[in-house]
Structure 1
């Protein structure tokens, strides 16, 4: 199972939109958009989980593709520099 980062999403994007988009390339195991707490709108990025070969095909097919007027950024999730620190 591979986790894919999706960036540069329009603020009106819904999880179902992303699932439908990635379903062209295989089975979407999970989809999660990062939402603004106050407005309830998408913050412009999210994550999808798919099998490895399907994930690679989705990245190749969707990175740079126009989605509702914006060019998507799609790649494998990479850890944040320095990691995330909790207090």
Structure 2
């Protein structure tokens, strides 16, 4: 299950997020979304947990908790819908 983690401090690292979520289960991937031009964090990222039960528990326990000075928000990530091809 893929989780969206929002409202991260710009200084938060992937390692910090990985450690936070690992306390609640297995984490297979942790990715911060970075600005293409500056390479700096955009303040959100994704955590992939293979076991839905662990992911739901992590979401319930970590949503609205503090990581550093920010209160983070954790949601189930929605897959992007494919964009229709507008080329004719």
Distance 2:84 2:45 in 1: 21
Output the TM-score relative to the length of structure 2: 0.86
Distance 1:14 1:70 in 2: 13
Give the structure 2 partner of residue 69 of structure 1.
69
Distance 1:16 1:66 in 2: 16
CA gap of 1:37–1:86, structure 2 versus 1, over 3 A, is farther
Give the structure 2 partner of residue 85 of structure 1.
83
Q: CA deviation at 1:86?
A: 7.2
- Which range moves more in the overlay, 50-59 or 35-44? 35-44
Unaligned runs of 5+ in 2: none
Q: Look at both structures and tell me which one has the larger radius of gyration over its CA atoms.
A: 2
Please give the residue correspondences for 1:32-71 in structure 2 after superposition, counting only pairs within 5 Å. Answer: 32-50=31-49, 51-71=51-71
Aligned residues: 84
Q: CA RMSD in A?
A: 1.5
Distance 1:60 1:21 in 2: 13
Unaligned runs of 5+ in 1: none
Distance 1:86 1:23 in 2: 37
Give the structure 2 partner of residue 8 of structure 1.
7
